[in-house]
Amino acid sequence: MSVEGKKKQSGNKEKSLQPPREKSARAYLKSLGEYEAMHKRALEDPENYWAERAKLLTWFKPWERVLDYDFIDNPKVEWFKGGKLNASYNCLDRHITGKRRNKVALIWQGDPEDDVRIWTYQMLYDRVCRFASALKKLGVRKGDRVVIYLPMIPELVVSMLACTRIGAVHVCVFAGFSTGSVQTRVQDAEAKVVITADGMFRAGRVMPLKSIMDEALKDCSSVRRVIVVNRANMPTTMRERRDLWWRDVMADRSLDANLPCAHMDAEDNLFILYTSGSTGKPKGVRHSIGGYLTYAAHTMQLVFDHREEDVHWCTADIGWVTGHTYTVYGPLLLGGTTVMFEGGPRWPDPDRFWQIVEKYRVNTFYTAPTAIRTLIREGDEWVEKYDLSSLRVLGSVGEPIGPDTWNWYRNKIGGGKLPVVDTWWQTETGGIMISPLPFATPLKPGSATLPLPGIDTTVLKEDGTPASQGEAGHLVIKRPWPGMMTGVFGDASKFKETYFSRFPGYFLSGDGVRLDEDGYHWLLGRLDDVINVSGHRFSTAEMEAAFNAHPAVAESSVVGMPHDVKGEVIYAFVHLTLEEKPTESLRADLRKWLRKEIGPIATPEYIQFVNGLPKTRSGKIMRRVLRKIVSGNVDELGDLTTLSDPGVVDELLGEWERLTGKSVLS
Ligand code: WTA
C-alpha cells in the first residue's frame, strides 16, 4: 500500500499529559530532559552506551568488540563479539546465589481459578537443570533446534530455559496454530526434538495439541523425539520409540539438578521465532544471545521502570515475541516476579484480568488494545469491583491504540493518573523501540511518543526522501540496536531482501508512521501485506496459499477489513474452479480448511465468492482496490483505468454489502 493511502489518525495538537510527579522521584528516568540527554549520548557514543547497558547481564568472558555492522552491501549485525555468556545462567543461577534464591520467579495462574503454581528461583532452576540434563541425554546438542508447541503452562518456560542452558535453539510455535502452520515451522527449523502437550485449556474447554502435532509430523523427518506434557488428561496416542511423557522424562533420578551451563558466544542463536511477512512462507527470525538479552533487560528496566519488588504481568502468549521478551526474559533477567496466565480475559467472566491484578497485586501490567477494546464493551462494572491500586505502569502493544481506548485504559484501569506506555516494536526488533518512559515522557493519547534512547528512527517517503513533519511515511531505523534480529534462519539472502533492499542503509519496519510537531510518533499500521487480527500478525499471502491449496479454489485474495474490536478481520475473496458452485456448505468447508491449515485464529470472518477479481491488464490482482472495497470507501478507489474489467468493482461492492450488512460510505 502506498503511504499516501494511509489516513491521518487523530489530530496531533492534543495537549500532552505530564507524567505523575509523586511517582517520578524513584524512577530511573525522571524527566523529559533526562531522557533527551540519554538519547543524545546513546546516539553520539553508541558503543559506550550499549556496553554499559550490557552490564545488566553477567558475562563469563567480556566482549572484544561492541558492534560490527553493515546496513547496505551485505547486511549483518554483530553485537558483543568475543563475549561469552548463557541465558539460563543470567535468568537463574546468578539469582540463586544471592538473596533472590527464595524469591518468587514465576506465578502461574491456570485457566481454572484454583490451578496455581508458584515457583521460586531455586525451584525454577532445579527444573530447568533437570530438563536440560534430560534433553542432553536425548542427544540434543549446541545449535540443535527444539520446537516448543505448548499452551501457557510453566513447562513452557522450563523448556525454553533448558534449551538455552545447553545451547540449543528454541523455536516456540503458538499453540493456536494448526497442522499446516506447525508443519511448515518444524520443517523449516529442522527440529530434532519437539515438546508438546496432550491438550490445552482455554476458557473452560479442552482442545487437542498432540494429535495436531502428530499429523504435522507425518512429513517431518528431522524429528527424533516428542516429549508430551499431560495438561488435560486427554486420550493420547504415544508412538513407540519416539514419544515420551514429560513426567517420565523428569522422573529419572540420574538427571543433574545442577547441570553446568554451556558457555555460549554472544552472537550464537538464542531462539528462532517465525513471523509473517509479505510472502507466503513465514520467516524464521533469528535472535542472538548477547544482543537480545541486553536489550530485553534494558527495555524491561526502563519502559516498565522495573523495581525489585514488582509483580509484572504481560498477558501475551509466549508463542509470540511479546511473551518471549516481557513474560520470560525481561523479568527473569532482572530477578523479577513474572505472572503467566493460561486463560483469556473473558472467562469465566469478563473481569478475569482485574481479578488477577487484585489477587497478586500486580504492579506493571502489559496487554494488547484488542483485549482492552473487548473489555470496554463488557461494561465498566466489571472493573469497578476490584482494587487495582497496586498498579503503577500500564502498557499496550501489538497494534495502534486509538485515543478512545487509550483514555479508557488510563481512566478506568489507571484511575486517571497512571502512565500508559504505548510500546511499538516487532518480532524483528526483539524489544520495545518506541515508547514513553513512564515517569519522564509527557503522554499524548494514541501516540507511542518517542524512540527509546539510541533508537534512530526516520520517516521516508515512497521515493526514499525524508518525510516532513506531519507527513506519513515508512518507519525505518538508521542504525542497529542490540535487540535487532541477526538474520533469517536458513535463508541468508532474505534478510537483505526483506529489510534492507527497499531503502538501502535503513532497516525497514513495514509500518507507516507520522511525526507531529514534537517529534511524537503516530503509528499508522502496516504498509505491506501483513494484517493484524486481535494483535496477531498474519501474512495475507500465507492465507491465500492455504485457500488456493483447496481443490475447489481457483484463485483467492485476502485482505484485512477494519473491525471495532479486533482491529482487523480476515476478508477473503474466493474465485472457485469452473466445476464448483458457491454454496453455504462450501463456505463452511473453506472456513474449516483455513482453521486446519493455519489455526482457529485465522478463521476468515467473511468469504465472498466472486466471478472475477480486479486485475491489471497484465493480470496482477489489485489488492489496493479490494482493501478499499472492504472498508466501504469507494470515494478513494483511485484510478481504475488500469483495471482489465472495471465492471467487476460494482459487483464486488454489491456482494460485500450483502455479506456484511454494511453500506458504502458515499
Ligand atoms: C504492530 C509484536 C502500533 C506493527 C510486538 C508491527 C503496533 C507489528 C504496536 C509487529 C504499537 C506493534 N502501535 N502498531 N504500539 N506494536 N504493532 O511481530 O504493525 O507480532 O509491525 O510483534 O505489530 O507484530 P509482532
Give tens-digit pLDDT for 251-310. 999 999 999 999 999 999 999 999 987 777 899 999 999 999 999 999 999 999 999 999
399 in ligand 1 pocket by Cβ < 6 Å? yes
Q: How far apart are the first and last CA of the chain?
A: 22
Spatial contact of 111 and 352, defined as CB atoms under 8 Å apart: no
Residue nearest to atom 2 of ligand 1 (CA): 426
**CA distances from residue 112 to 57, 108, 203, 562 in whole angstroms, order as listed:** 36, 11, 8, 33
Q: What's the pLDDT at 28? A: 95
Cα of 604 from ligand 1 centre, angstroms: 21
Q: Tell me whether residue 9 is exposed, middle or buried, using C-beta atoms within 10 angstroms of its C-beta: 0 to 12, 13 to 18, 19 or more.
A: middle
Calculate how far, in angstroms, residue 477's C-alpha sits from the geometric centre of ligand 1: 15
Choose among 92, 62, 60, 66: nearest CA to 80. Answer: 66
- Using only C-alpha atoms, the chain has a radius of gyration, in whole angstroms, of 24
**Is the CB of 316 inside a 6 Å radius of any atom of ligand 1?**
no
Confidence bin at 666 (pLDDT 50/70/90): low
pLDDT (tens digit per residue) in 88-140: 999 999 999 999 999 999 999 999 999 999 999 999 999 999 999 999 999 99
* d(CA 509, ligand 1 centre) in Å: 10
Q: 447-464: per-residue pLDDT in tens?
A: 999 999 999 999 999 999
* Residues sharing a CB contact under 8 Å with residue 139, sequence separation 6 or more, in sequence order: 192, 224, 225
Q: Collapse the DSSP code of 215 into the 3-class scheme (helix H, G, I; strand E, B; otherwise coil) and give the result.
A: helix
How far does residue 581's CA lie from ligand 1's centre (Å)? 39
Atom of ligand 1 nearest to the CA of 448: 15
Q: 143-162 burial string, b = 16+ CB within 10 Å, else e? A: ebbbbbbbbbbbbbbbbbbb
Residue 317 near ligand 1, beta carbon < 6 Å: no
In a mutational test of the pocket of ligand 1, which residue from 511, 529, 538 has the highest number of ligand atoms less than 8 Å from its CB? Answer: 511
SS3 235: coil
Q: Is the CB of 448 within 6 Å of ligand 1?
A: yes
CA distance 570 to 538: 9
pLDDT for residue 21: 73
Q: Is the peptide bond before 20 cis (omega within 30 degrees of 0)?
A: no
User: Which amino acid is located at 232 in the chain?
Assistant: A
% the chain with pLDDT above 90: 83
The rounded Å distance from CA 366 to ligand 1 centre is 14
Atom of ligand 1 nearest to the CA of 523: 3
Instruction: Write the DSSP string, 145-204.
Output: EEEEE--SSHHHHHHHHHHHHHT-EEEE--TT--HHHHHHHHHHHT-SEEEEESEEEETT
Give pLDDT, residue 634.
Answer: 77
Residue with the three cell numbers 535453539? 169
CB distance 320 to ligand 1 below 6 Å: yes
Taking CA atoms only, the protein residue closest to ligand 1 atom 24 is 426
pTM above 0.95, yes or no: no
Cα(280)–Cα(538) distance, integer angstroms:
10
Confidence band of 3 (pLDDT split at 50, 70, 90): low
Q: How far from 414 is each of 59, 306, 363, 444, 593, CA to CA, in Å?
A: 38, 17, 11, 15, 42
- The average pLDDT across 632-651 equals 79
The verdict on the CB of residue 537 being under 6 Å from ligand 1 is: yes
Does ligand 1 come within 6 angstroms of the Cβ of 425?
yes
Can you say how many angstroms the Cα of residue 666 is from the centroid of all Cα atoms in its chain? 37
Look over the chain and give the mean of its residue pLDDT values, rounded to a whole number.
Answer: 94
